A and B are shown apart, each in its own frame.
Chain A
Amino acid sequence: QVQLQESGPGLVKPSQTLSLSCTVSGGSISSGIYYWSWIRQPAGKGLEWIGRVYTSGSTNYNPSLKSRVTISVDTSKNHFSLKLSSVTAADTAVYYCATDRAAQGVWYFDLWGRGTLVTVSS
């Protein structure tokens, strides 16, 4: 069973770049079964999809964040990463990584990490 674990700094200064990794265990990130997604949730608010990456490196990003987001995959380390630049307090949230798999061509978020809180503050 694939499991996901987010890691990275819990505190980032305004205007800097938020960097998180998601380590995949129990399976290969190169399996081709999944896309690998990042999703975030500000405290007390709803979920926001950030973007996803495929094993090939192909990406899709939320249009509202696209100018600041980079998601990449490292098959040698079996993990994928999120970089969000020029952060502000509005980027403070719990960040989740998730697997994005297809059933009969319809994609859904199958497995989720436990999430990691990132606070943007000076």
Chain B
Amino acid sequence: SSELTQDPAVSVALGQTVRITCQGDSLRSYYASWYQQKPGQAPVVVIYLKNNRPSGIPDRFSGSSSGNTASLTITGAQAEDEADYYCNSRDSSGNHYVFGTGTKVTVL
């Protein structure tokens, strides 16, 4: 399968930890990257190469992977982390990209 499946929505209390998962067969072979998208804005990469953060991304964002599941963890969620999050990786052929279905994170 070339699909990447995410939970549609999760919520987290301010300052607590939330993990967002992305499942797909291709993740057994390829790393995922993670993108944050706030309303009306373009996505921004928050994690690449499994657990690397671009400059300017807070260290409360971390990534991990096991088997067919990639995860994005926000440790100590802040109000500004409320957004949609998408994973991305290769499809099973390795020649094309596929995005996950997206997870809406609400910070309570």
Chain A residues in the interface with B (C-beta under 8 A): 37, 39, 46-49, 60-63, 96, 103-104, 106, 108-110, 112-115
Contacts and interface: CB of A to CB of B under 8 A. Distances in A.
Interface of B: 30-31, 33, 35, 37, 42-45, 48-50, 52, 54, 86, 88, 95-102
Closest 4 CB pairs of A and B: A108-B33, A108-B48, A49-B97, A112-B42
Contacts of A104: 49
Contacts of B88: 47, 49, 108-109
Which residue, of A37, A49, A106, has the highest number of chain B Cβ atoms within 10 A? Answer: A106
A114 B52 contact: no
The B interface, classified by DSSP as helix, strand, loop or mixed, is strand
A49 B49 contact: no
B99 A47 contact: yes
B48 A103 contact: yes
Contact of A109 (B30, B33, B95): B33
B45 A46 contact: no
Contacts of A112: 42-44
B96 A60 contact: yes
Contacts of B43: 47, 96, 109, 112
Given A106-B31, A108-B88, A60 B98 contact: no
B4 to A, nearest CB: 10
Contacts of A96: 42-43
B98 to A, nearest CB: 7
Contacts of B49: 103-104, 106, 108
A68 B103 CA distance: 29
A113 B41 CA distance: 10
Contacts of B97: 37, 49, 62
A94 B102 CA distance: 16
Given A108-B49, A114-B42, A46 B99 contact: yes
A109 B99 CA distance: 11
Which residue, of A47, A60, A62, A63, has the highest number of chain B Cβ atoms within 10 A? Answer: A47
30 contacts: A46-B99, A46-B100, A46-B102, A47-B35, A47-B43, A47-B86, A47-B88, A47-B99, A49-B88, A49-B96, A62-B96, A63-B96, A103-B49, A103-B52, A104-B49, A106-B30, A106-B49, A106-B50, A108-B45, A108-B49, A108-B88, A109-B33, A109-B35, A110-B45, A110-B48, A110-B54, A112-B42, A113-B42, A114-B42, A115-B42
